[in-house]
Chain A
Amino acid sequence: MNGILIAAVLVLAVLAVIQIVRIYELSSVIREEDTALPTPEDNDRQGFWMLVFGIAFIASFFAMMYAWMPDTLGLPASEHGPQYDNLWDISMGIIIVMFLIVQPVLFYFAYRYRGTAGRKASYFEHNNKLELVWTVVPAVILAVLILYGLSTWSTIMNPSKENEPIVVELYAQQFKWTARYAGKDNDLGNANVRLIAGTNALGVDTLDAKSADDQVTPEMYLPVGRPVLFKFRSQDVIHSAYMPHFRAQMNCVPGVPTQFQFTPTVTTADMRKDADMVAKVERINAVRAKAGKEPYVFDYLILCNKICGAAHYNMQMPIVVVSEEEYAAWIKEQKTVAETL
């Protein structure tokens, strides 16, 4: 019954619109107006709206920046993070400047040169000097961005080998993360999905001597200031280990080993005390209180960032960054493969 009513209303609405359009068309015939070609009044009106849109667009850009930038990631928590953010700020600065030049000019032109009766447009078909300018200027700016970008990329992807990194395997499966620390020898034992059986959920090769001191943990602690080399493995589909606070991401691909190294520089406790973070957490908790949810406490997270199936939206693991001593105490508590398997 409801369906029929809705359908009837829709049909009537369409009929009504048809009648309105017909009335409009008939009245414009009487006024000898064209219903298809723009009249000078149309050009005036549309040109005016172009100008209004241009102004409103730029104004809302600043409004969004003001309202939402404080809710973005904030302080980087890794050694390469500030470099990343610096490159980001410079690139973003350049494109925002371009945006703020080009958009207003575009909408202003649409307004300023709106059609009027009797005016003839200028026959201006090319100008080599002008075109050279806007080929060369972007080329120079891009050259700078490319060089700076590549040097940053190279620093991130080829970290210094001075300090020996802690080796941790990050193991991905639908829909959870598991960590395997390399243990005292800092060398991960072999592993393969064909060895998965019973409690050996990661398929660690127990016959490999290097695996005896490996430690499999459901959570991840990292010492501040020590480089960590993540080795990624996935047992089923592609996942992506996304650690946004550390400006780090790498795909976990079944059958293809991948890795990423970074050095955490801010402990979880310190990040929780950061003024911007405190303010952000307060805003979050105001929202949560309204919805009747538990208060949120900041934690570094690994999120899955490659579509991996039904529960892709909830594949997460906290990372706890602690002092060297706290880390040493924690890692000592973790059982080794030799003890559990």
Chain B
Amino acid sequence: MAAEAHAHDHAHDHEHHDHPAPNFWNTYVFSTDHKMISKQFLVTGMFMGIVGVFMSMLFRLQLAWPEKKFAILEYFLGKWAPDGVMDPNMYLALVTIHGTIMVFFVLTAGLSGTFSNLLIPLQIGARDMASGFLNMLSYWFFFASSVIMIASLFVETGPASGGWTIYPPLSALPQAMPGSGAGMTLWLISMTLFIVSSLLGSLNYIVTVLNLRTKGMSMTRLPLTIWAFLVTAILGVLSFPVLVSAVLLLMFDRMLGTSFYLSDIYMAGEALHYQGGSPVLYEHLFWFLGHPEVYIILLPALGITSEVIATNSRKPIFGYRAMVTSILAIAFLSFIVWGHHMFVTGMNPFLGSVFTFTTLLIAIPSAVKAFNYMTTLWKGNLQLTPAMLFSIGLVSTFVSGGLTGIILGDSALDINVHDTYFVVAHFHIVMGLSAIFGLFAGVYHWFPKMYGRMMNKKLGYAHFWITFVSAYGVFFPMHFLGLAAVPRRYYTNAEFGMFDNLQDINVLITMFAILGGIAQLLFLFNFFYSMFRGPKASQNPWKSNTLEWTTPVEHIHGNWPGEIPEVHRWAYDYSKPGLSEDFAPQSLPIQDGEEETGH
């Protein structure tokens, strides 16, 4: 009750608050309005996404035709691809920065930053984030971090190239590879700023959800999007600081000559002074963030999907409480499974057993989520919008990729597929594709809320189908490469006769990668075209129940022109018997003759 009363007071204060006159700078650049910040995150994330995807197309060219010369490589990579032949160091740099950008800049900041910012205040019925100023700082730290990451691509010795997990000693010693020089320093600085951004954002999200819910919006009436964003933020707050410490100690080893991660090293003709450290310590610290990070990426996508599937099935999400419970269970388990990335580091086999046990447990809440999505579709009246297609695509990739997790989470089976293309296939499908599909679903679904216009559905359909087919076309065949023992991060497989019969698979994968990459132009075109020329949106185009659709189409500071609506029901009263419409906005009081369902 206290929280609700507070929310009400806040709204009251707000109406009497004097705002500085809006001008270009405080509206579009240093805005404290969550809706504008959300767009800033989206557009920056999309730019980083273009860079990240483009890099993957370059290294896919190398993997499919390692012996061919490509003028395009020299055009973009300059001295790193003399005569159109890629330098092995540049190959490693491309996979490293591709991973970093996609995991952090696109699927963490781009996804969570965009939709947590847009939807948390709008769906819980708040005028803005708890702190608009911290929210603005969160974006600008992210922006600075992106600028530094991009700048690192242009340093003399090349960008960081030790893999996105930057294990020392490879990442710690510039003698080990050129990318571990200035490029790695910039990587570490960029990531530190990124983590600051993430923490400022997450704290804000948590405080806002807990304190600023409108009257009647109890925790059990929160849309699943908000549950997902809240739990994601908690995961971020608890795990990202550990990465800061890992990064800081790595900086000490690099700059001050400490030995946190280094010991007994002979490199470039001399024995180095480092003594007593352990690279395995770094791996523990990294994956203590790194595994929750997977769910920091995935949960918002699942939240978005829950909302999109329920709205477009015109049905309540099946098993709301089970969905919330499984989000919480996944989040809890995500903190005690990091060791499954380290089964072959020589850790105590008993410890490996514990991590196997906890890891495979995650399959249970994940299965519950998948089955609940499918039951939501069952007997629905599916409105197959592009957002809905991407959400169904997400359920498919979540299942396909999740299942191979049962193999990789098993310490015994991991021995022979660890770090092979089987792993690359697994995490790209379950985390990469699912999250990116969630991101697309979110953009198509909430574009009218963000820009007041509709995206073109025909282009959306074409975008979905080409993306969906080529996504599976890229990653499904990789399982078979893994089963043939092809290690990941190999510049070429041509040094091994045993892989020569697999080259056709690599060519096929690259063709799908190029097709899928080019298909994103459809999305970019649709996005920018619709932003300016798309048909004007109505207030609630998808006939959705959540509160954001009760705000006016034109954005105003404070979201609602008058009082914030009071909430009388949960977000999922679609096709409820006794109501004339097939939806019932959360602000609609319980009607006469309507059944009480306890939500």
Contacts and interface: CB of A to CB of B under 8 A. Distances in A.
Contacts of A225: none
A87 B412 contact: yes
Contacts of B375: 124, 130
Contact of A121 (B315, B360, B461): B315
A301 B395 CA distance: 39
Interface in A121-140: 121-127, 130-131, 134-135, 138-139
B496 A149 contact: no
Most buried by B among A123, A158, A192, A247: A123
A50 B454 CA distance: 24
A310 interface: yes
B356 A123 contact: no
Given A237-B169, A284-B500, A35 B535 contact: yes
Contacts of A153: 349, 352-353, 356, 410-412
A330 interface: no
Interface stretch (B23-31, B433-441, B501-509): B501-509
A142 B541 CA distance: 43
A113 B378 contact: yes
Interface residues of A, number: 123
Interface in B315-338: 315-322
Contact of A253 (B276, B345, B415, B572): B345
A24 interface: yes
Given A115-B384, A157-B352, A312 B92 contact: yes
B245 interface: no
Nearest to A117: B381
Interface string A75-117: 0000000001001100110110011001101110110011110
B368 A254 contact: no
Interface in A253-273: 253-259
Contacts of A156: 412, 415
Contacts of B364: 135, 138-139, 142
B499 to A, nearest CB: 9
Given A35-B535, A36-B455, A287-B500, A106 B410 contact: no
Contacts of B501: 71, 280, 283-284, 287
Interface in B267-306: 267, 271, 276-280
**Most chain A beta carbons < 10 A, residue from B320, B368, B374:** B374
B418 A305 contact: yes
Nearest to A303: B487
B220 interface: no
A73 to B, nearest CB: 6
A109 B392 CA distance: 10
B560 interface: no
A121 B279 contact: no
Interface string A220-247: 0000000000001001111010101001
Contacts of B477: 64, 68
Contacts of A69: 480, 483
Nearest to B419: A305
Most buried by A among B344, B503, B529: B344
B377 interface: yes
A123 B399 CA distance: 25
A154 B349 contact: yes
A237 B176 contact: yes
B170 interface: yes
Interface string B519-537: 0000001000100011101
Contact of B264 (A72, A125, A192): A192
A304 interface: yes
B359 to A, nearest CB: 9
B368 A135 contact: yes
A320 interface: no
B384 A91 contact: no
Contacts of A38: 383-385, 457
B495 A313 contact: yes
**Which of B177, B497, B572, B575 has its CB near the most chain A CB atoms (within 10 A)?**
B497
B345 A138 contact: no
Interface stretch (A39-47, A208-216, A321-329): A39-47
B396 A106 contact: yes
A42 B388 CA distance: 12
Interface in A286-329: 287-288, 293, 296-298, 301, 303-314, 316
A109 B374 contact: yes
A249 interface: yes
B407 interface: yes
A95 B406 contact: yes
A311 B89 CA distance: 9
Contacts of A146: 356-357, 360, 410
Interface residues of B, number: 130
B143 interface: no
A173 B268 CA distance: 11
A316 B525 contact: no
B427 interface: no
A18 B529 contact: yes
B131 interface: no
Contact of A17 (B322, B410, B419, B525): B525
Interface in B542-599: 542, 572, 574-577, 582, 597, 599
Contacts of B454: 35-37
Interface in B144-200: 162-163, 167, 169-170, 173, 176-177
A109 B487 contact: no
Contacts of A251: 344-346
A17 B597 CA distance: 50
A283 B480 CA distance: 16
Given A125-B572, A237-B170, A251-B346, A138 B498 contact: no
A137 to B, nearest CB: 8
B546 to A, nearest CB: 16
A274 to B, nearest CB: 14
A11 B485 CA distance: 45
B316 A125 contact: yes
A62 interface: no
A254 B282 CA distance: 13
Contact of A238 (B279, B420, B459, B529): B279
Interface stretch (B50-58, B105-113, B232-240, B465-473): B465-473
A72 B483 contact: yes
Contacts of B133: none
B491 A134 contact: no
Interface in B404-430: 404, 406-407, 410-413, 415-416, 418-420
B380 interface: yes
B382 interface: yes
A38 B465 CA distance: 16
B491 A313 contact: yes
Contacts of A256: 263, 278-280, 346
B396 A121 contact: no
Interface string B338-378: 00000011100100110011001101100110111011011
5 contacts: A24-B456, A37-B454, A98-B403, A120-B582, A255-B263
Given A109-B377, A237-B167, A237-B169, 6 more contacts: A50-B392, A106-B374, A126-B318, A157-B349, A237-B170, A280-B501
Interface of B: 87-89, 92, 162-163, 167, 169-170, 173, 176-177, 262-267, 271, 276-280, 313-322, 344-346, 349, 352-353, 356-357, 360-361, 363-364, 367-368, 370-372, 374-375, 377-385, 389, 392, 395-396, 399-400, 403-404, 406-407, 410-413, 415-416, 418-420, 448, 454-459, 461, 465, 468-469, 472, 476-477, 480, 483-485, 487, 489-493, 495-498, 500-503, 505, 525, 529, 533-535, 537, 541-542, 572, 574-577, 582, 597, 599
